[in-house]
Amino acid sequence: MDKLNILLDSTLSALKKLTTLTTLSDLETKTIGRKGELTEILKTLKDLPEDQRKEFGQAANETKKTLETAFAEKRSELETIEMNKKLETETCDITEPGIKPKVGSVHPLSKVQWEVENIFSQMGFSIMDGPEIESEYYNFEGLNIPSYHPARDMQDTFFIDKQADEKHGRLVLRTHTSPVQVRTMQKYGAPLRIIVPGRVFRYEATDASHDTTFDQVEGLLVDKNISLAHLKGVLEEFLTRLFGKKVTVRFRPGYFPFVEPGLEVDFSCLLCEGKGCRVCKHSGWLEFMGAGMVHENVLKAGGIDPSVYQGWAFGFGLTRLVMMRYGIDDIRLLKSSDPRFLQQF
């Protein structure tokens, strides 16, 4: 019993003087831990006469409980002190400015492409695409471009040293988006209203206005009783919505093997509105694209009966449109991935 009282008193007074959580844990282990002093004292229980064992056992339990409570109280007291100390020394300035994350931006080509897609979708056109690696057949023959046509020459076309298959000839990097005309006619038949934005490739010496890779948008409409008047209406509506101001369009004769009649399309200069300025070389008009009524042979290649259906097609340079829109004077910037250029959009 004396030993128990000594343990209790000495532990309580030692506990009072403690200032850290580690020394508290050490003292706890040493006294009421599994191999601690209290356990040692309890080992003497078996040496006591029967009638004293119960009393001793109860006293030992009391001591243990008292000490446990004392340890718990001291622990929470010390924890509070240590937490406060921590809060005093660790500072966090919530008024300090944050680190601005770098965010990307949409490429100007994609931006304008989406706008073009939106406007044509609203007019009932579907958005199509086709392979960038084409066969000679779809890039040329199907479009009524005979094998002696200069566009097939090595000066213009990247050929791939591989056959597509027996019927479709060699593989080429498509030189325009027009091959998707025949592909779509074969797949969906008439009537059709589509636009085809996509990359095209030409064997070209690169300078500020020429690149080997650029983007076009093809348009194709096939239906009954279709005329060039519909084309003019659709184009003026498209350009007026795109530029947010009234734009007019003019047709000039032009030649493309896959249209008859064929056209060059200009639109009124946005800067001088037709009066003539430096941008339009004092003509009042900006060259925009090739177009025309779809050639009979092209409709036939697409499996469409030219005696029932007519259509028109156009193709313009999306890249050039983007350059006009933003006043970009070097085509190579568009593929440069230069953040100084891209961050401006």
Residues in contact with ligand PHE by the rule CB under 6 A:
176, 178, 256, 259, 290-292, 313-315
Q: In what order do the strands lie in the sheet with 133-135?
A: 133-135, 169-173, 159-165
Which of 171/294 has CB closer to ligand PHE?
294
User: In whole angstroms, how close is the CB of 106 to ligand PHE at the nearest point?
Assistant: 25
User: In whole angstroms, how close is the CB of 144 to ligand PHE at the nearest point?
Assistant: 11
Which of 8/299 has CB closer to ligand PHE?
299
Contacts 24+ apart (CB under 8 A), 162-168: 164/135, 164/136, 164/137, 165/135, 167/137, 168/135, 168/136, 168/137, 168/138
Which of 78/286 has CB closer to ligand PHE?
286
Which of 254/274 has CB closer to ligand PHE?
254
Which of 53/149 has CB closer to ligand PHE?
149
Beta strands in 269-341 (DSSP E): 285-294, 310-317
CA distance 211 to 328: 14
User: In whole angstroms, how close is the CB of 301 to ligand PHE at the nearest point?
Assistant: 14
Q: How many whole angstroms from its chain centre is CA 157?
A: 31
Which of 63/175 has CB closer to ligand PHE?
175
Contact 319, 214 (CB under 8 A): yes
User: In whole angstroms, how close is the CB of 117 to ligand PHE at the nearest point?
Assistant: 18
Which residue has the CB atom at the shortest distance from ligand PHE?
A: 315
Half-sphere exposure of 25 (CA within 13 A, CB side): 4
Q: Quote helix, strand, coil % in the chain, to nearest 5.
A: 45, 20, 35
Partners of 165 in the beta sheet?
169
CA distance 216 to 208: 18
User: In whole angstroms, how close is the CB of 303 to ligand PHE at the nearest point?
Assistant: 19
Which residues contact residue 13 at a Cβ distance below 8 angstroms, ignoring those fewer than 6 apart? Answer: none
Which of 142/315 has CB closer to ligand PHE?
315
User: In whole angstroms, how close is the CB of 262 to ligand PHE at the nearest point?
Assistant: 6
User: In whole angstroms, how close is the CB of 289 to ligand PHE at the nearest point?
Assistant: 7
Contact 299, 311 (CB under 8 A): yes
